[in-house]
Structure 1
Amino acid sequence: MIEKILIVEDQLNLRKLLLLLLQKDYQVVAIENAEEAFELIQQQSFDLVLLDNRLPQMTGLDLLKAIKHSYPDICVILMTAYADVATAVEALKLGVFDYIIKPFDLNKFKKLIKRTLELNRSIQQRTDQSQLITPPKFDKVQEILTNSSNMMELCRDIAKVSQSKATILITGESGTGKELVAKTIHYYSTRSDKPFIKINCGALADTLLESILFGHEKGAFTGAYQRQIGLFGRANQGTLFLDEVSEMSENLQVKLLRVIQEKEFEPIGGNHPIKSDFRLITATNRNLQDMVIAGKFRQDLFYRLNVIGLNLPPLRDRKSDIMILARYFMQQFCVENNKHILDFSEQSVALLNHYNWPGNVRELSNAIEYAVIMSYGLFIEPEDLPKHIHNLPIKSNHIVSDRGSSGNTLKERIKNYEKVLIADALRKNKGHRDNTAKDLGVSRRTLLYKLQEYEIG
């Protein structure tokens, strides 16, 4: 029996492409809006729905919720060009089979369709669905802001691994946001209402770190006047985040390995093991595989830590995120410092994009905080930036002169500001145009005109 697929996509070219791609192997229907899609689902039987998240009138998540409420057996794949953890987790909670980010490789996409339908067939054969558990609601955490493909893939992975119990190793250069990723995983997990406990293993002496991690009994050593519960005990039913795990001594590596294997530990001076149900996330800015080869890190511990590995790219490899993050930090620090700054000048944008950011996102945050404090105008100018960025040599064609530039008249600056406001509002509303128009206080027709005028996707 030929399986039936419904494509819900408002972009005509992509809708036609997917139709041509799949109609040789499946029975395919392609439409452009959510309301018609749900009416069709009520009238016909579909095995799979390929659902775009950015749809007029109703978002893909809204339609997904309606489908899963009335027709829970229909398999759904969500397609979106805007990847963020909250959307991915919400989609997974609602029962989406997968979450795919545009643009996608067509061959991989076809394999995903085949795998989805094969698995769906096997699921349909099962009758007992009573054991499916919906994760509880969780607190909000700072959003991972990105427009780069590699970070979008990472967000997708975070959404998936947050629902598991597996040990996770986060790698990446200093300042890339490893702790933010760890917090995000915790707050989107089923342990979100339990403690998230963090410690930097490289900031403490070996003996002190051992006492903090495992705790100690009264009288275990000089100065141990009372019993202390260690972090492994405090993290029971929660998440323990060990940053710079590569800096642990060999003695502590052995003890950590045992705790991971047995899920129990002994405090210093204790005689009885203590059980603890914790989720372990570790991070390092060093290459643990190289350290294993050099004999500086235990191979068996590395394999225990690296059940799931997440690697954060440096900021220089996600250039499209620099101004997204810079504007976010600017708004944050303007509030903290009671400043009123509209945007960055073209010269400042060129400098920020050209700089290599060896300190990654942390360095960018510090630079923008400095600029906000130093700025006295409506725009952050090059002289407001830290000197090592301000004095960066750039070819003349990368920077537009501040005076006599066609881009610095009042009218053009107002247009630039309007473009920023619209783009920010669209991003805030996850691409939903009706909500964006409402937030901006304009009609949908006016918003569409402005999107076309400023070439905002």
Structure 2
Amino acid sequence: MKSSSPYRIFIVEDDPWYGEVLKYHLSLNPDYELYRFLTGEECLKQISRITPHLITIDYSLPDTNGAELFRRIREQLPDTPVIVVSGQQDVETAVNLLQAGVHDYFVKDDRTKDLLWNAILKIRENQSLRQEIDHLQDALGQKYNFSSTIIGNSPAIHKVFTLIEKAVRTNINVSVTGETGTGKELVAKSIHYHSERKKKPFVAVNMAAIPHELIESELFGHEKGAFTGALNRKIGRFEEANKGTLFLDEIAEMDLTLQTKLLRVLQERELVRVGGCEKITLDIRLVVASHKNLLDEVKKGRFREDLYYRLMGLPIALPALRERPSDIMVLAHHLLEEFCRDNRLATPVISPSASEKLLRYGFPGNVRELKALMQMAAVMCDGSEIRADDLFLTVDTENTVTETEGQTLRHYMVQIIKSYLKKYDNNVVLVADKLDIGKSTIYKMIQTNELSLA
């Protein structure tokens, strides 16, 4: 059955008989729409009217040769694959064409029809994969649309939107500051997925989460045998992010020795893996983040001043949630609806008493804490309404932090996981999937007696 979107193939062949043989053979696939031309000029004229998905060309044509025709096709259709099918058996000609970008080169013989058939199938498969990747990249761009994922209408958040828009237009480095839970990584992803680099990698590294002795290898990679335990070559995070964006979270936790090495990499735009000698050229956009004031860290001698100015780029300061109270209920409703939709729950309303309690609260954990609060309330509330008693705060409503401040977010996490384990009969894998956390996190909580499967 023929596809509603035919796959258009141009065949440029000056031998009418051989051209018809190829056309007939390929027409056995009903999805193909085939066009045959005797000269290169005929093909080029039609390109402006009909855009082909693939072109096959003979090398020796009455009006041009394959190399020149390929060059002119590339000018109009830089991404369209071209296959040369020719009587030319000169190896140098074939190598030159392949180096120039021709997808394949087949010498005319009894096997050519089948080779061409298989090559086109592979090309179509690769094109489909690229389209799928492009679609996913576009979807990620929508997912990290900062005007719909960084929720709020306050002047402070609109200022953040303005700075993100400015960052997207260029490749300037960006430094994001803000308290824990304000959404620093979300800002970094929003910048990446709306920039020209959106189809390249986004690589995030939490500097505080990597053991000191492994940071250099993690960032810059290492060669086999570089140190005890280096059994294979490792590609570092900088290389992974090449052509894309590297997000270094908690950059203030990097020690001074590594800061020196990072500065050199940024200045030279190249790195050498640990234990290696090959210089690897870098083209990355760097976004760094910290909950600390980097300038204060410079004054205290804990952060290099020259690195600070190299990293600062465009500074974006994220406001704490308590500094934009008009956004609290907007965010609360959004986070509640999102959680209930993902878990197929009816969305309860937030009662006036619960709203008042939220508005009087200081949110030391910022948006991350509000998210945990609303998830917990959605699970624990009875009926269709969240009441004040369903909001389990460990900080009083006068913004005075109790002795449990350091455990606030952990407390909420444990309570939510307990509730889900009970709901899903202690199925750790299912609960981890539902809450979008690693199952190892739950198992560690069980091992440390924070959770129980009893």
State the TM-score, normalized to the length of structure 2.
Answer: 0.55
1:203 aligns with 2:209: yes
| Corresponding residue of 1:333 | 339
Asked if 1 retains the 8 angstrom alpha-carbon contact of 2:174 and 2:311, the reply is yes
Contact 2:329-2:355 within 8 A present in 1 as well: yes
Q: Which residue of 2 aligns with 1:184?
A: 190
SS of the aligned residue for 2:363 comes to coil
SS in 2 for 1:169: strand
1:405-457 CA-to-partner distances (Å, cap 9, x unmatched) read xxxxxxxxxxxxxxxxxxxxxxxxxxxxxxxxxxxxxxxxxxxxxxxxxxxxx
Partner of residue 99, structure 2: none
Counterpart residue number, 1:246: 252
1:363-402 correspondence runs (5 A): 363-388=369-394, 392=397
Question: 2 CA distance for matches of 1:299 and 1:392?
Answer: 40
CA contact (8 A) 2:349 2:384 kept: yes
1:153-302 map, 5 Å? 153-302=159-308
Amino acid at match of 2:362: N
The AA in structure 2 aligned to 1:178 is: K
- Distance in 2 (alpha carbons) for counterparts of 1:146 and 1:381: 23
Partner secondary structure for residue 258 of structure 1: helix
Deviation per residue, 1:236-261 (Å, 9 max, x gap):
11000000000001111011111111
1:22-81 deviation per Cα after TM superposition (whole angstroms, max 9, x unaligned) = xxxxxxxxxxxxxxxxxxxxxxxxxxxxxxxxxxxxxxxxxxxxxxxxxxxxxxxxxxxx
2:330 is aligned, of 324, 331, 335, to: 324
| 1:228 counterpart SS class | coil
* Alpha-carbon distance between aligned partners in 1 of 2:170 and 2:251, rounded to the nearest angstrom: 21
1:170–1:309 Cα contact (<8 Å) kept: yes
The aligned residue for residue 142 of structure 2 is 140
In 2, Cα distance between the equivalents of 1:393 and 1:176?
Answer: 21
How far has the Cα of 1:375 moved from its partner? 1.1
Offset of residue 343 of structure 1 = 1.6
How far apart, CA to CA, are the structure 1 residues paired with 2:343 and 2:143?
23
The answer as to whether partners of 2:141 and 2:190 remain within 8 angstroms in 1 is: no
Q: Distance in 1 between matches of 2:194 and 2:159?
A: 17
Contact 2:208 2:253 in 1 (8 A): yes
Contact between 1:240 and 1:279, CA under 8 Å: does it hold in 2? yes
RMSD between aligned alpha carbons? 1.6
Q: Is the 8 A contact 2:328 2:359 kept in 1?
A: yes
2:361–2:398: 8 Å Cα contact kept in structure 1? Answer: no
Q: CA deviation at 1:333?
A: 1.4
Residues 295 and 162 of structure 1, relative CA distance in 2, 3 Å threshold = same
What's the offset of the Cα at 1:383?
A: 1.4
1:356-414: CA deviation from partner (whole Å, max 9, x where unpaired): 0011001111111110110121111111111436x7479xxxxxxxxxxxxxxxxxxxx
Contact 2:197 2:243 in 1 (8 A): yes
- Please say if residues 203 and 237 of structure 2, whose CA atoms lie closer than 8 Å, have aligned partners that are also in contact: yes
Distance, in Å, in 2 between the alignment partners of 1:237 and 1:169 is 19
Larger Rg: 2
Cα distance in 2 for residues equivalent to 1:218 and 1:393: 57
Q: Specify the code of the residue in structure 1 equivalent to 2:175.
A: L
- Residue 207 of structure 1: CA displacement? 2.0
Do the aligned residues in 2 keep the contact of 1:166 with 1:307 (CA within 8 Å)?
A: yes
Gaps of 5+ in 1: 1-135, 395-457
Q: Do the aligned partners of 2:202 and 2:245 also contact (CA within 8 Å) in 1?
A: yes
For 1:7, the equivalent position in structure 2 comes to: none
Q: Is the contact between residue 175 and residue 362 of structure 1 (CA under 8 Å) also seen in structure 2? A: yes
User: Would you say 1:308 and 2:314 are equivalent positions?
Assistant: yes
1:102-113 equivalences under 5 Å are none
Task: Using the TM superposition, give the Cα deviation of residue 196 of structure 1 relative to its aligned residue in structure 2, in angstroms.
Answer: 0.4
Task: Name stretches of at least 5 consecutive residues in structure 2 with no aligned partner.
Answer: 1-136, 400-454
Partner-residue secondary structure (3-state), 1:309: strand
Relative CO higher for 1 or 2, CA cutoff 8 Å, sep ≥ 6? 1
SS in 2 for 1:376: coil
Distance in 2 (CA, whole Å) between partners of 1:322 and 1:330 is: 12
Deviation at 1:153, TM superposition (A): 1.2
Instruction: Tell me which stretches of 4 or more aligned residues in structure 1 moved more than 3 Å.
Output: 391-394
Q: Tell me how far apart the structure 2 counterparts of residues 254 and 264 of structure 1 sit (CA, whole Å).
A: 14
Shift of the alpha carbon at 1:311? 0.3
For 2:352 and 2:163, the matched residues in 1 are separated by: 35
Aligned length: 258
Q: Determine if contact 1:171/1:284 at 8 Å carries over to the other structure.
A: yes
Q: 1:393 to 1:359 in 2, by over 3 A?
A: closer
SS in 2 for 1:271: coil
- Give the Cα–Cα distance (whole angstroms) in 1 for the partners of residues 394 and 237 of structure 2: 41
* Residues in 2 aligned to 1:201 and 1:281: alpha-carbon distance in whole angstroms: 13
In the alignment, residue 303 of structure 1 is paired with which amino acid? Y
Report the CA distance between 1:139 and its aligned residue. 2.4
Secondary structure of residue in 1 paired with 2:247: strand
Q: Distance in 1 between matches of 2:299 and 2:338?
A: 44
Q: TM-score, normalised by structure 1?
A: 0.55
Judged with a 3 Å threshold, the aligned counterparts in structure 2 of structure 1 residues 223 and 241 are, in CA distance, closer, same or farther, namely: same
Q: Over residues 126-173 of structure 1, what are the superposed CA-to-partner deviations in whole Å (9 max), with x where a residue is unaligned?
A: xxxxxxxxxx96721242111100110110110111121111110011
